[in-house]
Structure 1
Amino acid sequence: MGEISIKINIADRVYPLRVDTEEEEVIRYAAKLINEKIKELQDNYAVRDKQDLLSMCVLQYATGMIKAERSAQDQGQGIEQSVHELDKLLSDFFNK
Protein backbone atom coordinates (compact mmCIF):
# COMPACT_ATOMS: atom_id res chain seq x y z
CA MET A 1 0.00 0.00 0.00
CA GLY A 2 2.83 2.43 0.71
CA GLU A 3 4.76 4.02 3.50
CA ILE A 4 3.51 6.41 6.14
CA SER A 5 5.23 8.46 8.82
CA ILE A 6 4.34 7.69 12.40
CA LYS A 7 5.68 8.60 15.82
CA ILE A 8 6.18 5.87 18.40
CA ASN A 9 6.71 6.60 22.09
CA ILE A 10 8.89 4.09 23.94
CA ALA A 11 10.11 4.77 27.47
CA ASP A 12 9.13 8.45 27.25
CA ARG A 13 11.09 9.00 24.02
CA VAL A 14 9.48 9.67 20.68
CA TYR A 15 10.78 7.89 17.60
CA PRO A 16 9.68 9.05 14.16
CA LEU A 17 9.41 6.10 11.78
CA ARG A 18 8.47 5.44 8.18
CA VAL A 19 6.60 2.15 7.97
CA ASP A 20 4.47 0.24 5.51
CA THR A 21 0.81 0.90 6.20
CA GLU A 22 0.28 -2.84 6.76
CA GLU A 23 2.87 -2.80 9.58
CA GLU A 24 1.58 0.25 11.46
CA GLU A 25 -0.80 -1.64 13.72
CA VAL A 26 1.81 -4.27 14.62
CA ILE A 27 4.45 -1.63 15.37
CA ARG A 28 2.09 0.41 17.53
CA TYR A 29 1.04 -2.72 19.41
CA ALA A 30 4.70 -3.72 19.92
CA ALA A 31 5.46 -0.27 21.34
CA LYS A 32 2.43 -0.60 23.65
CA LEU A 33 3.65 -3.99 24.91
CA ILE A 34 7.15 -2.63 25.50
CA ASN A 35 5.81 0.32 27.50
CA GLU A 36 3.57 -1.97 29.55
CA LYS A 37 6.50 -4.30 30.30
CA ILE A 38 8.68 -1.33 31.31
CA LYS A 39 5.94 -0.09 33.65
CA GLU A 40 5.58 -3.60 35.12
CA LEU A 41 9.33 -3.87 35.69
CA GLN A 42 9.44 -0.39 37.19
CA ASP A 43 6.60 -1.20 39.58
CA ASN A 44 8.06 -4.57 40.66
CA TYR A 45 11.74 -3.69 40.97
CA ALA A 46 13.69 -0.82 42.44
CA VAL A 47 14.99 0.17 39.01
CA ARG A 48 14.33 3.65 37.73
CA ASP A 49 16.95 4.02 35.01
CA LYS A 50 15.19 3.79 31.62
CA GLN A 51 18.22 2.12 30.00
CA ASP A 52 18.18 -0.65 32.62
CA LEU A 53 14.42 -1.10 32.22
CA LEU A 54 14.75 -1.27 28.42
CA SER A 55 17.56 -3.81 28.73
CA MET A 56 15.51 -5.99 31.07
CA CYS A 57 12.52 -5.70 28.74
CA VAL A 58 14.56 -6.70 25.68
CA LEU A 59 16.07 -9.62 27.59
CA GLN A 60 12.61 -10.93 28.51
CA TYR A 61 11.28 -10.62 24.95
CA ALA A 62 14.42 -12.15 23.43
CA THR A 63 14.23 -15.06 25.87
CA GLY A 64 10.58 -15.64 24.97
CA MET A 65 11.39 -15.50 21.26
CA ILE A 66 14.21 -18.02 21.61
CA LYS A 67 11.96 -20.38 23.59
CA ALA A 68 9.25 -20.08 20.94
CA GLU A 69 11.74 -20.75 18.14
CA ARG A 70 13.09 -23.81 19.92
CA SER A 71 9.59 -25.11 20.55
CA ALA A 72 8.67 -24.63 16.88
CA GLN A 73 11.89 -26.34 15.83
CA ASP A 74 11.22 -29.28 18.16
CA GLN A 75 7.69 -29.61 16.78
CA GLY A 76 9.07 -29.45 13.24
CA GLN A 77 11.54 -32.24 14.00
CA GLY A 78 8.74 -34.33 15.49
CA ILE A 79 6.65 -33.84 12.37
CA GLU A 80 9.62 -34.67 10.16
CA GLN A 81 10.21 -37.89 12.11
CA SER A 82 6.52 -38.82 11.80
CA VAL A 83 6.59 -38.23 8.05
CA HIS A 84 9.66 -40.47 7.70
CA GLU A 85 7.97 -43.21 9.73
CA LEU A 86 4.80 -42.94 7.66
CA ASP A 87 6.84 -43.01 4.45
CA LYS A 88 8.61 -46.17 5.62
CA LEU A 89 5.31 -47.83 6.57
CA LEU A 90 3.80 -47.00 3.17
CA SER A 91 6.91 -48.15 1.33
CA ASP A 92 6.92 -51.42 3.26
CA PHE A 93 3.20 -51.92 2.61
CA PHE A 94 3.40 -51.31 -1.14
CA ASN A 95 6.58 -53.34 -1.59
CA LYS A 96 5.03 -56.53 -0.16
Structure 2
Amino acid sequence: MGDISIKINIADRVYPLRVETEEEEVIRHAAKLINEKIKELQDNYAVRDKQDLLSMCVLQYATGMIKAERNAQNQDIGLEQTVHELDNLLTDFFKK
Protein backbone atom coordinates (compact mmCIF):
# COMPACT_ATOMS: atom_id res chain seq x y z
CA MET A 1 0.00 0.00 0.00
CA GLY A 2 1.01 3.64 0.05
CA ASP A 3 1.76 6.41 2.46
CA ILE A 4 -1.05 8.54 3.83
CA SER A 5 -1.06 11.79 5.77
CA ILE A 6 -2.67 11.75 9.20
CA LYS A 7 -2.78 14.06 12.19
CA ILE A 8 -2.23 12.62 15.65
CA ASN A 9 -3.06 14.50 18.83
CA ILE A 10 -0.86 13.71 21.82
CA ALA A 11 -1.00 15.79 25.00
CA ASP A 12 -3.00 18.53 23.27
CA ARG A 13 -0.47 18.90 20.46
CA VAL A 14 -1.14 17.90 16.88
CA TYR A 15 1.50 16.00 14.94
CA PRO A 16 1.16 15.60 11.19
CA LEU A 17 2.58 12.25 10.07
CA ARG A 18 3.06 10.28 6.88
CA VAL A 19 2.50 6.61 7.58
CA GLU A 20 1.91 3.39 5.73
CA THR A 21 -1.80 2.73 5.32
CA GLU A 22 -1.57 -0.53 7.26
CA GLU A 23 0.13 1.26 10.20
CA GLU A 24 -2.55 3.93 10.64
CA GLU A 25 -4.76 1.93 12.99
CA VAL A 26 -1.83 0.95 15.22
CA ILE A 27 -0.53 4.52 15.39
CA ARG A 28 -3.96 5.94 16.22
CA HIS A 29 -4.41 3.27 18.90
CA ALA A 30 -0.97 4.06 20.36
CA ALA A 31 -1.81 7.78 20.50
CA LYS A 32 -5.10 6.95 22.25
CA LEU A 33 -3.28 4.82 24.84
CA ILE A 34 -0.73 7.58 25.45
CA ASN A 35 -3.45 10.18 25.98
CA GLU A 36 -5.34 7.84 28.32
CA LYS A 37 -2.17 7.20 30.33
CA ILE A 38 -1.45 10.95 30.53
CA LYS A 39 -5.00 11.55 31.79
CA GLU A 40 -4.60 8.75 34.36
CA LEU A 41 -1.29 10.18 35.59
CA GLN A 42 -2.76 13.68 35.72
CA ASP A 43 -5.70 12.44 37.80
CA ASN A 44 -3.54 10.42 40.20
CA TYR A 45 -0.64 12.81 40.74
CA ALA A 46 -0.30 16.52 41.40
CA VAL A 47 1.55 16.96 38.11
CA ARG A 48 0.17 19.39 35.58
CA ASP A 49 3.14 20.01 33.32
CA LYS A 50 2.62 18.11 30.06
CA GLN A 51 6.36 17.46 29.67
CA ASP A 52 6.48 15.77 33.07
CA LEU A 53 3.37 13.73 32.27
CA LEU A 54 4.82 12.66 28.92
CA SER A 55 8.08 11.67 30.60
CA MET A 56 6.25 9.60 33.20
CA CYS A 57 4.16 8.00 30.44
CA VAL A 58 7.23 7.11 28.37
CA LEU A 59 8.94 5.67 31.44
CA GLN A 60 5.97 3.41 32.17
CA TYR A 61 5.69 2.19 28.58
CA ALA A 62 9.45 1.65 28.25
CA THR A 63 9.49 -0.31 31.51
CA GLY A 64 6.62 -2.45 30.28
CA MET A 65 8.35 -3.04 26.96
CA ILE A 66 11.59 -4.10 28.66
CA LYS A 67 9.70 -6.51 30.92
CA ALA A 68 7.87 -7.97 27.91
CA GLU A 69 11.15 -8.41 26.01
CA ARG A 70 12.75 -10.17 28.98
CA ASN A 71 9.71 -12.40 29.35
CA ALA A 72 9.84 -13.29 25.65
CA GLN A 73 13.56 -14.08 25.91
CA ASN A 74 12.95 -16.32 28.92
CA GLN A 75 10.17 -18.11 27.06
CA ASP A 76 12.47 -18.59 24.07
CA ILE A 77 15.15 -20.07 26.33
CA GLY A 78 12.59 -22.37 27.94
CA LEU A 79 11.29 -23.44 24.54
CA GLU A 80 14.82 -24.08 23.31
CA GLN A 81 15.55 -26.25 26.36
CA THR A 82 12.32 -28.20 25.81
CA VAL A 83 13.20 -28.80 22.16
CA HIS A 84 16.67 -30.07 23.16
CA GLU A 85 15.14 -32.39 25.75
CA LEU A 86 12.67 -33.71 23.20
CA ASP A 87 15.47 -34.17 20.67
CA ASN A 88 17.50 -36.13 23.23
CA LEU A 89 14.50 -38.31 24.08
CA LEU A 90 13.84 -39.05 20.41
CA THR A 91 17.51 -39.75 19.76
CA ASP A 92 17.62 -42.16 22.70
CA PHE A 93 14.37 -43.81 21.59
CA PHE A 94 15.55 -44.41 18.03
CA LYS A 95 18.95 -45.73 19.20
CA LYS A 96 17.20 -48.64 20.93
Whether TM-score is above 0.5 comes out as yes
Cross-structure match for 1:29: 29
Q: Deviations over 1:40-91 (max 9, x none)?
A: 0000000001110000000000111111111111111111000000111111
- Please state whether the residue corresponding to 1:4 is helix, strand or coil: strand
Is the counterpart of residue 93 in structure 1 residue 90 in structure 2?
no
User: Percent of aligned pairs with the same residue?
Assistant: 88
Runs of 4+ displaced beyond 4 Å: none
Any gaps of 5 or more consecutive residues in structure 1? none
With the length of structure 2 as denominator, give the TM-score of the two structures: 0.97
Give the count of matched residue pairs: 96
| Structure 2 residue 77 is matched with structure 1 residue 77 | yes
Question: TM-score, normalized by length of structure 1?
Answer: 0.97
CA distance in 2, matches of 1:95, 1:68: 40
Per the alignment, in what secondary structure is the counterpart of residue 7 of structure 1? strand
Q: How much does 1:93 deviate?
A: 1.2
For the residues of structure 2 that align with 1:91 and 1:24, how far apart are their CA atoms?
49
Which residue number in structure 2 is paired with residue 53 of structure 1?
53
For the residue of structure 2 that corresponds to 1:9, the secondary structure is strand
- The separation in 2 between residues aligned to 1:22 and 1:93, in whole angstroms, is 48
- For residue 92 of structure 1, report the CA deviation from its aligned partner: 1.1
Look up the SS of the partner of 2:17 in the other structure: strand
Distance 1:32 1:59 in 2: 17
* Gap runs ≥5 in structure 2: none
